[in-house]
Structure 1
Amino acid sequence: MKFFYVVNGKALKSITLILIAAFFTAWFLFIENIAQIPVFSTREGPKAIYRGEKDLALTFNIGWGDEKAEPILDTLKKENVKSATFFLSGSWAERHPDIVERIVKDGYEIGLLGYNYEDYSELEDNKIRKDILQAQEALKKLNVKNIKLLRAPTGHFDERTLKIANQYGYTVVHWRIDSKDWQNPGVKTIVENVSKAEKGDIVLLHASDSAKQTAEALPQIIDNIQQKGLKLVTVSELIANSEVKTKEIN
């Protein structure tokens, strides 16, 4: 009988250790997942948008490169896409005034992607301000004015970024669907990533030289969107046409 209790005591101890280990593993995974959830607004104050209620917005980031922007513009024209939003870094725009002019001429919307490709969540406030103002000035010199949209260059931002952007009259724009085209995972994968888009979504794409497969994937992406009966609009039109969705920064 004593042996019976000794064995169960050891078993109980083992079960307890397993449960504790399982709890901490589950907690770790929970925290890891929470860390990957994008956060977009403060409880009270400036907000960043990542989707609306209807329509769909294709957005293209351009931070560097000389080769991929024009093929993407060619594809959009060929596919008769009238509305899209391009987020341009000021330093890239200065080096490619002709492409900036074409984006405007083709009727697409332009937003700021900062000046240098830096992580705003790691910069001091004054450096964030300087980067935004430098980008703003670069686009003004190219006769691109009244820009109201800003995307954090690396996609990372915090409450400070929201407040600073708001001070300069900008709305911070994130996304709900990430094509991951910059990873060059293959045209099929890029198309599959974007195929998850639903009405109201903002889709992240790139027209920098790092995104080598985006132009090839675009016709299928556009076809899929049209088959869903979704209308392609600019981010500003998405904001104007519906109640935008935000998430809270804790």
Structure 2
Amino acid sequence: MDHFYVFSFKKRRRYFTLSLVLLLAAGFFIFQSNILGSNASDEVALTKGSVEEPNIALTFNISWGEEKVHDILDTLKQEEVQATFFLSGEWAERHPAIVEKITEDGHEIGILGYRYKSYVEQDLEEVRRDLFLAQEAFEKLGFEDINLLRTPSGRFNEEILDLAESMGFEVVHWNINPNDWKNPGTENIVDVVMNDTTNGDIILLHASDRVKQTASALETILPGLKSKGLNFVPISELISQAHADIELIE
């Protein structure tokens, strides 16, 4: 009988150890999947923040138009939500007053390239020039330290990530996308965001004139996500938390 119980204890201990190793490995894999890159040592793009904190980032892309953004800003102000706006340099040059309004309302600014043209469809020198033009455009508007970059159309490869890193940019992607630019219906936009959003998520929305349902969807989304215990933070804060997690895991 003694031999039987000793064997059972050792066997259970082996199972427990194996289960623990598998659990840790799964957790590491899930965390790494939140960073887009070919491997852990490569330059990466953030697509999700820390799952340990109930913080999320609401982001907007703007590359053209000047009408819809105002309703969106009004709704954000009413709900006291800070967001991050990724603006194309060309658009910012044409609408400096709106850029000023965005920052006056306490929102964060990121770069969406200069001309809204996919980087993977250009050679690397064209991409470099586009980024320089974007930097110059924002510097002329008084923004000399923007380091957040979302690539036009969200497409990139390892070379683009390397280039962005060498120029001091943090590339920011997303993992919640209701495709509001397609105007799929206010209820559809709300359902996607409310059903899918959880700790650390980055939500992609648009504030260009093509969107016709985003402002009304926000009237439900903003209080709804708050009621789930989620906090809206700027992308820079989400990045800080993600970097802290990377240091902890290493």
Q: Normalising to structure 1: TM-score of the pair?
A: 0.80
Which stretch of structure 1 is more off in the superposition, 215-224 or 87-96?
Answer: 215-224
Q: Match for residue 171 of structure 2?
A: 172
Q: Match for residue 140 of structure 1?
A: 139
Pair 1:130 & 2:104 matched: no
CA RMSD across the alignment: 1.8
Runs of 4+ in 1 over 3 A off after TM superposition: 242-246
Q: Match for residue 72 of structure 1?
A: 72
Partner of 1:117: helix, strand, or coil? coil
CA distance in 2, matches of 1:129, 1:92: 18
Cα offsets for 1:207-231 (capped at 9, x unmatched):
0011111111101111121011011
Task: Please list, as runs of the form range in 1=range in 2, the aligned pairs for 1:223-234 lying within 5 A after superposition.
Answer: 223-234=223-234
Q: Match for residue 200 of structure 2?
A: 200
Displacement of 1:97 after TM fit? 0.2
Q: What amino acid maps onto 1:213 in structure 2?
A: Q
Q: Match for residue 4 of structure 2?
A: none
Q: Match for residue 49 of structure 2?
A: 52
Q: What amino acid maps onto 1:51 in structure 2?
A: K
Task: Please list, as runs of the form range in 1=range in 2, the aligned pairs for 1:89-238 lying within 5 A after superposition.
Answer: 89-195=88-194, 196-238=196-238
Displacement of 1:59 after TM fit? 0.2
Displacement of 1:232 after TM fit? 0.3
Partner of 1:77: helix, strand, or coil? helix
Contact 1:50 1:244 in 2 (8 A): no
Q: What amino acid maps onto 1:45 in structure 2?
A: D
Partner of 2:36: helix, strand, or coil? coil
CA distance in 2, matches of 1:66, 1:84: 18
CA shift in 2, pair 1:245/1:180, >3 Å: farther
Displacement of 1:45 after TM fit? 2.2
CA distance in 2, matches of 1:92, 1:84: 18
Displacement of 1:106 after TM fit? 1.1
Contact 1:51 1:244 in 2 (8 A): no
Q: From the two aligned structures, give the one with the greater helix fraction.
A: 2
CA distance in 1, matches of 2:75, 2:119: 32
CA shift in 2, pair 1:244/1:178, >3 Å: farther
Cα offsets for 1:142-196 (capped at 9, x unmatched):
1122111100111111111101100110011000000210000110000011111
Partner of 1:127: helix, strand, or coil? helix
CA distance in 1, matches of 2:218, 2:212: 12
Q: What amino acid maps onto 2:64 in structure 1?
A: W
Q: Identity of paired residues, percent?
A: 50
Q: What amino acid maps onto 2:198 in structure 1?
A: E
Q: Match for residue 10 of structure 1?
A: none
Contact 1:57 1:84 in 2 (8 A): yes
Partner of 1:205: helix, strand, or coil? strand
CA distance in 2, matches of 1:110, 1:203: 15
